[in-house]
């Protein structure tokens, strides 16, 4: 039998949400007062919740893309492609479910765009133009170049809240790569181009990196970095919402 005094992460999340019984909540309050490490973990969970509320709150008011709605209603074809259905479900889970959405077991295979993005990151793709960032860049300065390269209404995300600074842009034919440097000077990249209109979401390991592909009916974004899955969760969320907000 499990020890009723043992505190799991599920208990902590329920405590933060105010979903525990008074007796259980009292036990956790006492534990937090006595255990600094446990209190710090709760503080991190609360910070994550606040961040996801801030970035996903505006998305709740956005309508679903018309193409998704048509396919769901069967106006385009009688049966929805299972691959598309999985992608739509993943994206909706991310919007509605916060951190738990990233436990979605993606069944989609990575498409060629991922290899193209990683080739660009490794410098094996021909670059049309490099726009280097100065010592104290204001990301707004680079929005015009990004929009022209991708033919999309996007902007360069500000990732400074996670300690990432803009390092530059690589401009390609109908695509762009945004480069950032992290707290330990680690490279994090966003490869952005127009979408083919379908929705996709996946996160996986490739070429020794953590990769996330996030695609809606307008843009395809491939994020890549030498980071943990949890760090990619936060970076990808800030990146995608920063691009499209």
Q: Is 134 in the same domain as 237?
A: yes
The predicted structure's pLDDT at residue 60: 59
Domain annotation covers residue 188: yes
Domain housing 135: 106-244
Q: Is 171 in the same domain as 240?
A: yes
Q: Is 111 in the same domain as 36?
A: no
Domain annotation covers residue 67: no
The predicted structure's pLDDT at residue 177: 95
Contact call for residues 212 and 240 (beta carbons, < 8 A): no
Q: Is 36 in the same domain as 118?
A: no
- Structural domain count of the chain: 2
Domain annotation covers residue 97: no
Domain annotation covers residue 87: no
The mean predicted confidence, pLDDT, of the chain is 77
Q: Is 120 in the same domain as 219?
A: yes
Domain annotation covers residue 190: yes
The predicted structure's pLDDT at residue 100: 40
Q: Is 148 in the same domain as 226?
A: yes
The predicted structure's pLDDT at residue 48: 66
Q: Which CATH number belongs to the domain containing residue 150 in this structure?
A: 3.40.1000
Domain annotation covers residue 59: no
Ranges of residues in the chain whose predicted pLDDT is under 70:
1-5, 47-72, 74-111, 127-128, 134-140
Domain annotation covers residue 57: no
- The whole-model pTM stands at 0.59
Domain annotation covers residue 2: no
Q: Is 145 in the same domain as 231?
A: yes
The predicted structure's pLDDT at residue 82: 45
The predicted structure's pLDDT at residue 108: 36
């Amino acid at each position: 039998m499990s020890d009723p005094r043992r505190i799991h992460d599920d208990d902590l999340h329920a405590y933060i949400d105010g979903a525990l019984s008074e007796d259980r909540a009292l036990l956790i309050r006492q534990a937090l007062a006595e255990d600094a490490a446990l209190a710090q973990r709760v503080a991190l969970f609360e910070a994550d919740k606040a961040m996801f509320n801030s970035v996903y709150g505006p998305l709740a008011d956005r309508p679903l893309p018309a193409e998704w709605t048509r396919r769901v209603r069967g106006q385009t074809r009688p049966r929805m492609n299972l691959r598309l259905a999985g992608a739509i479900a993943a994206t909706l889970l991310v919007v509605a479910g916060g951190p738990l959405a990233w436990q979605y077991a993606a069944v989609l295979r990575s498409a060629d765009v991922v290899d193209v993005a990683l080739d660009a990151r490794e410098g094996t793709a021909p670059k049309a133009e490099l726009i280097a960032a100065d010592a104290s860049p204001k990301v707004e300065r680079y929005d015009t170049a990004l929009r022209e390269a991708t033919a999309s209404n996007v902007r360069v995300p500000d990732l400074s809240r996670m300690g990432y600074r803009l390092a530059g842009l690589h401009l390609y034919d109908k695509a762009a790569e945004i480069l950032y440097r992290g707290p330990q000077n680690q490279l994090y990249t966003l490869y952005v181009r127009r979408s083919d209109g379908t929705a996709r979401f996946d996160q996986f390991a490739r070429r020794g990196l953590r990769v996330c592909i996030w695609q809606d009916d307008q843009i395809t974004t491939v994020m890549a970095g030498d980071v943990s899955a949890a760090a990619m969760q936060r970076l990808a969320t800030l990146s995608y919402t920063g691009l499209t907000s």
